[in-house]
Amino acid sequence: MQVDGLSKIEVFIGNDLKTLDGTVVYIRCPVIGIPRPRIRYLKDDKPITYSEHLKLDSIGSLIVTAATLERKSNGVYTCLAENEAGHVTMNTTLHLLAPTKPSFIISYAPPSYQYDLRHKKGTLKLNIGDDSTAYANTKIELRCPVVGFPFPLIMWEKDDIILHHGDRAYLKENTTVLHYKLNEQDGGVFTCSATNMAGSVSKKTVITIKDPMPPKILASKYQVTIAQNMSSTILIGIYAKVLEGSTLTITCPHLSEPLSKIVWRLEGAPDLFLETNPDIEISPSGYQLVIKKVKGV
């Protein structure tokens, strides 16, 4: 068990404990037996000499007052319970940690953008310190990976204004991840600050709002004749004379920001006719449509 920044902590014998240097530690050792067992404590296999810093409370728990590295309070504490029928022991290892200043975990993962074509929503994932562009109505997931002991208090700001968990800002994973929905005016500077008793650090990310680009198909119109039984590729927009039985691939190069969804339709045919036709294949991206065996009309 690890405990961050408490002045007093109780631990039951048999459980190990990592805690802050200077913590008051109560080691509880509940026992049963007939007749009632006597309790003795050892530290590192040696009988404990009780003092101002090592003493028992009224119920037989060992109190390590102000456990510190300087007093060599680290170690293995043993509870020994014995009566006329026998004895039993159990250990707890106490490990004291000095405060460490917060620091950011280095991540080499670049920003990533995902666009849900169905719901027309985008999500931008990035780490604090990485600048990026984004579109209006995009949800950003800004991660602030930090370490430190005690674990730091995390504070988020946008343009020097503190962000609280609410309608547009959601704080998750011990507040180290900020979810925020951008609007047209939300370009700005996001700051993550991490603070504990050993110090404070902060990092910034600049988000710039970018206008989306409407879809544009990159094709021209002209006529071409294709020889019989050849596998050929043409651009959408071309008028083609194709002999029956040939294989034809039609491509649809386009530009847009964010990426558009491509939907193929055959004039006069019902919706999903092309998607359900066994002689038609559409690439996962929608960029290409392949007619395996061209049939005459």
Structural domain span for residue 37: 8-98
Q: Is residue 107 part of a domain?
A: yes
Last residue of a domain, one of 211, 242, 257: 211
Q: Is residue 252 part of a domain?
A: yes
Tell me the β-bridge partners of 188. 207
In the prediction, which pLDDT does 167 show? 64
In the prediction, which pLDDT does 68 show? 73
Q: Is residue 2 part of a domain?
A: no
**Amino acid present at 82:** E
Q: Is 128 exposed, middle or buried (0-12, 13-18, 19+ CB in 10 A)?
A: buried
**Are 118 and 191 found together in one domain?**
yes
278: number of Cβ within 10 Å: 6
**Are 132 and 42 found together in one domain?**
no
In the prediction, which pLDDT does 38 show? 92
**Are 225 and 243 found together in one domain?**
yes
Radius of gyration of the chain (CA): 34
Query: Residue 107 corresponds to which tokens in the numbers above?
Result: 């991540």
Q: Is residue 43 part of a domain?
A: yes
Please tell me the distance from the alpha carbon of residue 259 to that of residue 212, in angstroms, as a whole number. Answer: 10
Q: Is residue 297 part of a domain?
A: no
**Are 125 and 206 found together in one domain?**
yes
Query: The domain spanning residue 239 has which CATH number?
Result: 2.60.40
Query: The domain spanning residue 89 has which CATH number?
Result: 2.60.40.10
Residues of the chain with pLDDT under 50: none
**Are 86 and 123 found together in one domain?**
no
Last residue of a domain, one of 211, 246, 271: 211
Last residue of a domain, one of 211, 234, 252: 211
Alpha helical stretches, state H, the chain: 273-276
Q: Is residue 93 part of a domain?
A: yes
In the prediction, which pLDDT does 91 show? 96
Q: Is residue 32 part of a domain?
A: yes
**Are 183 and 157 found together in one domain?**
yes
Q: Which of 280, 284, 219 is nearest to 248 (CA)?
A: 280
**Are 206 and 111 found together in one domain?**
yes
Could you report the per-residue pLDDT of 224-247, keeping only the tens digit for each?
656 555 677 888 877 777 777 788
**Are 106 and 192 found together in one domain?**
yes
**Are 39 and 91 found together in one domain?**
yes
Query: Residue 276 corresponds to which tokens in the numbers above?
Result: 């359900």
**Are 198 and 227 found together in one domain?**
no
Please tell me the distance from the alpha carbon of residue 262 to that of residue 272, in angstroms, as a whole number. Answer: 13
In the prediction, which pLDDT does 226 show? 60
**Are 111 and 94 found together in one domain?**
no
Please tell me the distance from the alpha carbon of residue 205 to that of residue 291, in angstroms, as a whole number. Answer: 48
Q: How many domains does the chain have?
A: 3
Peptide bond into 111 cis (omega under 30): no
**Are 108 and 177 found together in one domain?**
yes
In the prediction, which pLDDT does 270 show? 86
Query: Residue 225 corresponds to which tokens in the numbers above?
Result: 């004749």
In the prediction, which pLDDT does 223 show? 57
At residue 84, what are phi and psi to the nearest 5 degrees? -65, -20
Q: Is residue 296 part of a domain?
A: no
